Homo-oligomer: A and B are copies of this chain.
């Protein structure tokens, strides 16, 4: 039987950090990554639009016979995860709850920080996820609009990056209450060290991507779907936007070269559940 891949969808390139973690924690598995870079970002779009776009990505990957779906986009997770879990016959893992559960595990004082894009912070998706488990948790959240452009421009270290990070995190640092900080945006793992340095060693910094990969690993084992073949895994990358731009970013974020990136048009793919 042909190996089945795990599908990873995102509004753009951010989910590549989740894919990278999935590949690291599940080295036998094959992956298909699909980033809707042409219509990125999803944050400012309506729920209806995000649902339609997400279903187009999902249906495109279902046709490729994926065995599990990872929604590596905070906005798509917030709007569609419950629906996808209900409708699909394969396991579906989203990107918000794993970070929330890891934070609850790590935090001793129950004061948890969350940083993310304006859309994610405004949605209150992380506070909701945290408080659905433990109502006594106090959340300090902060939108960091300058981080995504900085990361996409490749500014990942040095005085400029340090300055931006220090300035942006200042309000969170000033409160000095939290003992755990969730990186609630898939771009942020690339500046995790900067954030850790700025916040200090006493703060546990949690990458949603790492935690999502961990739970995907659990899901796969639980459903007895771990790859048993000794064949090397296959990684496929698809984008709806500029192939070359995607390839350059992917190559700067991954240790192994990403050679083939394919263009895909989603406009004609069905935008609802089958």
Note all chain B residues with C-beta closer than 8 A to A25. Answer: 101, 104-105, 133-134
In the complex where A215-B218, A218-B215, A218-B218 touch, is A132 in contact with B226 (Cβ < 8 A)? yes
Contact A214–B101 (Cβ < 8 Å) = yes
B interface footprint on A211-225 (CB within 8 Å = 1, 0 otherwise): 101110111011000
The docked-state distance in angstroms from the alpha carbon of A234 to that of B131 is: 20
A176 interface contact, C-beta 8 A: no
Contact partner of A26 (CB less than 8 A), chosen from B28, B98, B102, B133, is: B133
* Copies of the chain in the assembly: 2
User: Nearest Cβ distance between residue A107 and chain B, in whole angstroms?
Assistant: 10
Q: Is the interface of A mostly helix, strand, loop or mixed?
A: helix
A154 interface contact, C-beta 8 A: no
Q: Can you sample 11 A-B contacts with CB below 8 Å?
A: A25-B133, A25-B134, A26-B133, A26-B134, A28-B133, A28-B135, A85-B222, A97-B218, A101-B221, A105-B211, A219-B222
Closest 7 CB pairs of A and B: A105-B214, A27-B134, A101-B217, A25-B104, A215-B218, A101-B214, A25-B105
